[in-house]
Each structure stands twice: as C-alpha cells, then as structure tokens.
C-alpha cells in the first residue's frame, strides 16, 4: 500500500504543489523561489527518506512570507494525507541533531491534534539570503496545523543562523521519519488506546 500525499493549493497569493512519498529514498525536487527554504526542504526529504516534490510560485514581489507559509501548509496537508489511518506506525519520534556549534532537539507525536512548542536562541541574524529567520516558527506552526501533530522543537544553543535553522529541519526530518515508519511489532495495530488518531 502506497503512503503518498498530493496537495495543490492555489490562492491569489501563491500556487503550491506538494507530492510526498513517506516510503521513498530521499529523492527531492524542490523549487519555491527562496533559495535557503529550498535547501531546508531538501534536508527534510533527504533525512526523512521522503520522496518530495515541492513547486511553489508565490508573490515574491511582495516578500517571501506567503510563499514560505503556504508551502508549509501544503506540506503539512500532504504529510497528513500520506499517513492515512496511521495503523502500524511508531507514532512517536524524536531526534537530536548537531550542526557544528548548534543543536536541535525535535520530538513529534502523530496525535491528530495540532500543537507546537518552539524555542530558539535569542538574537539570531534576521536574514539568511532571502529567508527571514522569524519564519522558522511560522513554518512549524503552519505544518503542525495541517499535519495535525504535536511537535516540540528546541534549540538550546547555537550561534550561526544558517546552522540553527538547518539543524531544526534535519532533526524534524528524522523525527517525522521515525514516527511515521512501520513498527514491525505493531503490524495492523493502531498505536492508540482511544481507537482513533
């Protein structure tokens, strides 16, 4: 059974296509028009071992906000779609990833309920290329709202903005992979006593 999601989302501000295969090999084809964001989504596919296509055409003549946000919303929706009934998956995942001087700790629960807890060091450089570093939290909020997961992302320390953001995406990728992977001891079992996720 394939675990794939495909979401097309078009508004007056953006046009987004996301395709994801949870059981992929980390093959990515990403183009949002925001170079650093492409680099981050590439990390998500590669380290999550998700095959990921992202094509966004947004109103970059205004700024990168809608482009980044709407892509994250579509990504969350596609991820949720690909998860299907969540029968037989681990449900919980966590990963800690260093990137030189920076560290990210990510924990996820495929709970069906959106919740984000996010902390980052104060005083980060405001921009990485055209990427506004305050958007990282907004990306996570948008993803969480659509994917309907509980997500805790902490960067207890770090200095370089590129590293601080990138280690979050790498750890997120791995945590999502671990949570969504089939648990060989739980084939056919829904990982909830409630009977629904």
Cα–Cα distance, 3 to 115 (Å, whole number): 23
Cα–Cα distance, 29 to 61 (Å, whole number): 23
Angstrom CA distances, 129 to 34, 36, 112, stand at: 8, 7, 35
For Mn ion, the closer CB: 120 or 166: 166
For Mn ion, the nearest residue by Cβ is 166
Q: How far is the CB of 109 from Mn ion (least distance, A)?
A: 28
**Are the C-beta atoms of 140 and 73 separated by less than 8 Å?**
no
For Mn ion, the closer CB: 19 or 166: 166
Q: How far is the CB of 99 from Mn ion (least distance, A)?
A: 8
Binding site for Mn ion (CB under 5 A): 166
For Mn ion, the closer CB: 21 or 166: 166
For Mn ion, the closer CB: 99 or 176: 99
Q: How far is the CB of 158 from Mn ion (least distance, A)?
A: 13
Q: How far is the CB of 43 from Mn ion (least distance, A)?
A: 8
For Mn ion, the closer CB: 69 or 166: 166
Give the number of residues written for the chain.
Answer: 197
Among residues 111, 78, 116, the alpha carbon closest in space to that of 191 is found at: 111
For Mn ion, the closer CB: 70 or 166: 166
Cα–Cα distance, 56 to 59 (Å, whole number): 10
Residue 96 tokens read as 């800690």
Q: How far is the CB of 77 from Mn ion (least distance, A)?
A: 26
Q: How far is the CB of 7 from Mn ion (least distance, A)?
A: 26
């Amino acid at each position: 059974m394939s675990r794939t999601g495909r979401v097309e989302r078009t508004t007056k501000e953006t046009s987004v296509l996301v395709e994801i295969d949870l059981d992929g090999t980390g093959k990515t084809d990403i183009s949002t028009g925001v170079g650093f964001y492409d680099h981050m989504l590439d990390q998500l596919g590669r380290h999550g071992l998700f095959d990921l296509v992202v094509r966004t055409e947004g109103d970059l003549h205004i700024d990168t906000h809608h482009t980044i946000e709407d892509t994250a919303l579509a990504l969350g929706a596609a991820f949720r779609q690909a998860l299907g009934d969540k029968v037989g998956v681990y449900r919980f995942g966590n990963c800690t990833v260093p990137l030189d001087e920076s560290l990210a700790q990510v924990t996820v629960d495929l709970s069906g309920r959106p919740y984000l807890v996010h902390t980052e060091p104060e005083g980060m450089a405001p921009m990485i290329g055209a990427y506004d570093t305050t958007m990282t939290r907004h990306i996570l909020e948008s993803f969480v709202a659509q994917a309907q997961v509980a997500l805790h992302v902490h960067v207890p320390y770090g200095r370089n903005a590129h590293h601080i953001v990138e280690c979050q995406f790498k750890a997120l990728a791995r945590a999502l992979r671990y949570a969504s992977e089939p648990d060989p001891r739980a084939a056919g079992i829904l990982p909830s006593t409630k009977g629904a996720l």
